[in-house]
């Protein structure tokens, strides 16, 4: 019998409501089935979304640690054509469990996919997922309609890390510092350091459990937000030089030529949207980031009145009401023309 979190005597008194308890849309029967599938598997193949952020990679690695401690063979990956952990997530423990997509099992018995709002976000590992016997989808995107053979989706959770924490407990695992570091990376990333409206009491309660393991939250914050290569300042300056305010839309772009001048990796651009969205006059902020393949990754943010997830969904992407994105294969001008059109339609 796999222990149930509610029966565990070592559950911290301060645990409060876990996602999944009291009104959460994930039924107990789904958790039970997940535990059964994992219990039966000798090998578990984990995946998270392409261009992984702290929530995707952190949730996946946290669960990887627990599965490994249960004696499972574990592989973990994400389906990017250029397989590299972003520098700012380099501090996450457990990266020895990562394998590039070409070394991933072609048809896993059991695959668990984290923080992927759509099947497309599984990227190159989509073929592996399509051939897998069972696929468990662990996610918190409201737009996720469920593409697994078993879906553990809670659109009210601030981060997939909240569901990953619950999976850790339900598998009988204990929070140690490594697991807590991974989960904390997910929680702080997706709540914007506990600033977004998704930051509920349950989020702070989870943070308390994680911090109690001895986390250096100051060091994690510095790794995630307070350091960059010098070239970032130059690329940022360039992006801000051409930032444009059009009514209630503020936007800019960063090309790969801009980055090449300073040898700046694509993943260093993640924070630019947080600077651009400061403009008081704007309701919606957009940053177009050209990746190493020449495709434009479009980051969008709303202050609340506009549902950017709806705009991005219409353009082939998705996300959350206030933070969403998509990929564009057109020029900056064409991309923005289509974005403006969809924005007008939605708002
Ligand atoms: P980002 O701007 O990269 O921080 O992404 C914000 C949100 O948009 C994320 O939580 C993702 O769920 C979503 N998102 C970003 N890029 C894409 C994409 N290409 N397709 C679908 N969803 C995306
Ligand atoms: Mn994510
Ligand atoms: Mn997430």
pLDDT digits (tens, 9 = 90+) for 10-59: 334 333 445 434 445 899 999 999 999 999 999 999 999 999 999 999 99
* Mean pLDDT for the stretch of residues 300-314: 97
Q: What is the pLDDT at residue 4? A: 37
Separation CA 137–CA 119 (nearest Å): 10
Average pLDDT of the residues in 164-182: 97
From 299, 324, 327, mutation site for ligand 1 pocket: most ligand atoms within 8 A of C-beta? 324
Shortest-distance Cα residue to atom 8 of ligand 1: 324
Average the pLDDT over each of 21-25, 162-166, 209-213, 238-242 and give the range with the smallest value.
21-25
What average pLDDT does this structure show over 233-255? 98
- Convert the pLDDT of each residue in 97-117 to its tens digit: 999 999 999 999 999 999 999
- Looking at residue 263, its pLDDT comes to 97
Q: Pairing state of beta strands 43-48 and 134-139?
A: unpaired
The CA 164 to ligand 2 mean position distance, Å, reads 13
With a cut of 60, say whether residue 5 has pLDDT above it: no
The CA 230 to ligand 1 mean position distance, Å, reads 26
The rounded distance, in Å, linking the Cα atoms of 80 and 52 is 9
Residues 322 and 304: beta-carbon distance below 8 Å: yes
Q: For residue 160, which ligand has an atom nearest its CA?
A: 3
Return the residue whose CA atom lies nearest to atom 7 of ligand 1. Answer: 324
Q: Shortest CA distance to 44 belongs to which of 109, 116, 104?
A: 109
Pocket of ligand 1 (CB under 6 A): 117, 121, 141, 273, 299, 317-320, 323-327
Which residue has the CA at smallest separation from atom 2 of ligand 1? 299
Please report the pLDDT score of residue 24 as a whole number: 58
Q: What is the mean pLDDT of residues 61-85?
A: 98
347 confidence band (pLDDT: 50, 70, 90): confident
Burial pattern 9-43, b for ≥16 Cβ within 10 A else e, equals eeeeeebeebbbeeebebeeebbebbbebbeebee
Q: What is the mean pLDDT of the chain?
A: 93
Protein residue with least CA distance to atom 18, ligand 1? 326
- Residues 252-278, mean pLDDT to the nearest whole number: 97
Tally of CB atoms within 10 A around 130: 13
Q: Which of 121, 102, 109, 123 has the alpha carbon at shortest distance from 43?
A: 109
Confidence (pLDDT) at 12:
40
pLDDT for residue 11: 39
Query: If you average pLDDT over residues 309-327, what whole number do you get?
Result: 96
Mean pLDDT, range 124-134, rounded to an integer: 98
C-alpha distances in Å from residue 259, one per residue of 36, 219, 228, 235, 236: 47, 27, 13, 6, 10
Decide if 251 contacts 239 (C-beta within 8 A).
no
pLDDT at 153 over 70: yes
**Structural contact between residues 310 and 338, judged by C-beta atoms closer than 8 angstroms:** no
**pLDDT score of 262 more than 70:** yes
Predicted local distance difference test score (pLDDT) of residue 145: 85
Q: Check whether 140 has a pLDDT greater than 60.
A: yes
Res. 170: pLDDT tops 90: yes
Q: What digits encode the pLDDT tens for the residues 180-196?
A: 999 999 999 999 999 99
């Amino acid at each position: 019998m796999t222990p149930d979190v509610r029966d565990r005597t070592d559950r911290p008194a301060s645990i409060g409501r876990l996602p999944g308890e009291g009104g959460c849309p994930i039924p107990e029967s789904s958790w039970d089935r997940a535990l059964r599938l994992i219990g039966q598997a000798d090998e578990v193949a984990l995946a998270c979304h392409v261009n992984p952020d702290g929530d995707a990679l952190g949730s996946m690695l946290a669960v990887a640690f627990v599965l490994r401690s249960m004696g499972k063979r574990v592989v973990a990956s994400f389906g990017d054509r250029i397989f590299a952990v972003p520098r700012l997530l380099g501090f996450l423990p457990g990266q020895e469990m990562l394998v590039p997509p070409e070394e991933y099992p072609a048809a896993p018995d059991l695959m668990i996919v984290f923080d992927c709002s759509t099947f497309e976000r599984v990227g190159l590992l989509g073929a592996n997922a399509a051939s897998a016997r069972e696929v468990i989808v662990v996610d918190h995107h409201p737009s996720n309609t469920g593409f697994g053979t078993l879906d553990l989706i809670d659109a009210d959770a601030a981060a997939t890390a909240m569901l990953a924490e619950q999976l850790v407990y339900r598998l009988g695992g204990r929070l140690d510092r490594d697991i807590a570091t991974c989960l904390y990376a997910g929680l702080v990333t997706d709540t914007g350091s506990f600033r977004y409206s998704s930051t509920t009491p349950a989020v702070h309660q989870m943070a308390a459990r994680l911090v109690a393991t001895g986390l250096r939250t100051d060091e994690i914050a510095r790794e995630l937000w307070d350091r960059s290569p010098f070239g970032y300042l130059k690329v940022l300056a360039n992006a801000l030089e051409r930032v444009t305010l059009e009514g209630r839309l503020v936007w800019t772009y960063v090309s790969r030529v801009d980055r090449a001048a300073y040898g700046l990796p694509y993943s260093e651009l993640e924070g630019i949207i947080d600077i651009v969205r400061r403009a008081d006059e704007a309701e919606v902020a957009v940053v177009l980031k050209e990746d190493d393949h020449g495709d434009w990754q479009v980051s969008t943010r709303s202050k609340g009145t506009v549902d950017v997830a709806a705009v991005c969904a219409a353009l082939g992407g998705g996300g959350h009401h206030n933070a969403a994105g998509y990929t564009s294969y057109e020029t900056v001008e064409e991309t923005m023309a289509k974005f403006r059109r969809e924005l007008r339609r939605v708002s």
